[in-house]
Amino acid sequence: MKATIWHNPRCSTSRKTLAILEETPGIEVEVIEYLKTPPSREKLLDLYARAGLTVREGLRAKEEAARDIRDADDATILDAMLSDPILIERPLVETEKGVRLCRPQERVRDIL
């Protein structure tokens, strides 16, 4: 099975999720460092829809840059995420069984 992780190597939860994927037999892991290669608008909306998340739930609200948009509409939040991908909460993992925002990292097991 293939698993794609939208990964930030500086994030401990993202690193732990990647470790679970790499340690699981039969998993072919594709790592996308989303800060270097951000998803398109369509891809991000698809990931959120498949994960059952709203755009607001996908916002990394801890970030300083999120302060001004926390109460904005989805289109504004999405535009901000696309222009500054650090605002995308991580890690997102997709497999043929679905998509999960893996916070905590054990949530990845739901789709393996």
**How would you classify the pairing of strands 98-101 and 92-95?**
antiparallel
Residue from 7, 9, 10, 11 carrying the catalytic annotation:
11
Task: Name the amino acid, one letter, at 63.
Answer: E
CA distance 41 to 22: 28
Three-class SS of residue 5? strand
Length of the chain: 112
Give yes or no: 11 in active site: yes
CA distance 35 to 39: 9
CA distance 22 to 87: 26
Catalytic site positions: 11
